Amino acid sequence: MSFENRGSGVVLLTMQDRAHKNTFSPALIGGLQSAYRRIEEEDRHKAVVLTGYGPYFSCGGTREGLLALNDTNGHFTDADVYTLASNCRIPVIAAMQGHAIGGGLIMGLFCDIVILGRESLYAANFMKYGFTPGMGATYIMPEKLGMSLGHEMLLSAANYSGATLEARGVPFSVLSRNQVLAHALGIAAELADKPRLSLMTLKRHLNRKLQAALPSIIEQELAMHALTMHQPEVRHRISTLFDS
């Protein structure tokens, strides 16, 4: 995990767990949590850009992590990376230049501004493995993408290219992969020109609906997991489909 001060109050967080393709390995989770704690502790920051490396933004849960959930060893709330961006006091921009799969996509959608790569793939692939979505996906997908497309992506678990999502009318900038980061940093610089207190105040106001709705949504998703996560078919799907 790279933490870089870009000057004028802009922080660039780069996820680069290359060995695990930016899945939610312990190293990546710990790096994200540490980075956001550091941002909260330093008053000079005004805007954050979160990005990945090469063709990967974040690929969500690891095989081991999903199998542990299937074995009833914990819940998706145990390592809460999905609300780090929305709980951050300053705006966070998701420069999703690369593939964003499952929890990786959801983590990006919880950011305040989202930018996609035209060549990259985006999927809410929970149902691919046979269990219902978690991490607030059932709220944030329809909220950010629109009800029809959000529900379609959650139910189908299919891969959608950035170009396809652009054609479907997603309300995000969709650029060539190599243009995403520069565009995000440009937006961050515009934000950082504003007073920090005003940015924090407006973000808190804009997120009030999300903050009010999320606890109930998470409770409902955990209840659905209790019904769907522990099926033998789910374990078989995780074991055989994870790298497909």
User: Catalytic residue among 20, 75, 151, 225, which?
Assistant: 225
pLDDT reported for residue 125: 97
| Structure-token pair, residue 154 | 């959650």
Q: Residue 155 in contact with residue 137, Cβ under 8 Å?
A: no
| DSSP state letter for 111 | S
Exposure on the CB side of residue 40, measured as CA atoms within 13 A: 12
Outline where the chain has alpha helix (H). Answer: 26-41, 63-70, 84-87, 103-109, 137-145, 147-156, 162-167, 177-192, 196-206, 208-228, 232-241
What is the chain's length?
A: 244
pLDDT reported for residue 244: 74
C-alpha 244/C-alpha 228 separation (Å) is 21
pLDDT reported for residue 75: 79
- DSSP-derived 3-state class of residue 59: coil
Q: Residue 106 in contact with residue 142, Cβ under 8 Å?
A: no
Structural domains for the chain: 2-178 (3.90.226.10)
Residues of the chain with pLDDT under 50: none
Picking from 21, 51, 238, the residue whose alpha carbon sits closest to that of residue 127 is 238
* 236 labelled catalytic: no
* Cβ-based neighbours of 171, under 8 Å, separated by 6 or more: 144, 145, 146
pLDDT reported for residue 99: 98
pLDDT reported for residue 207: 97
Euclidean distance between the first and the last CA atom of the chain, given in angstroms as a whole number: 26
Picking from 22, 76, 5, the residue whose alpha carbon sits closest to that of residue 228 is 76
| DSSP state letter for 201 | H
C-alpha 56/C-alpha 121 separation (Å) is 9
Helices 232-241 and 63-70, packing angle to 10 deg:
170
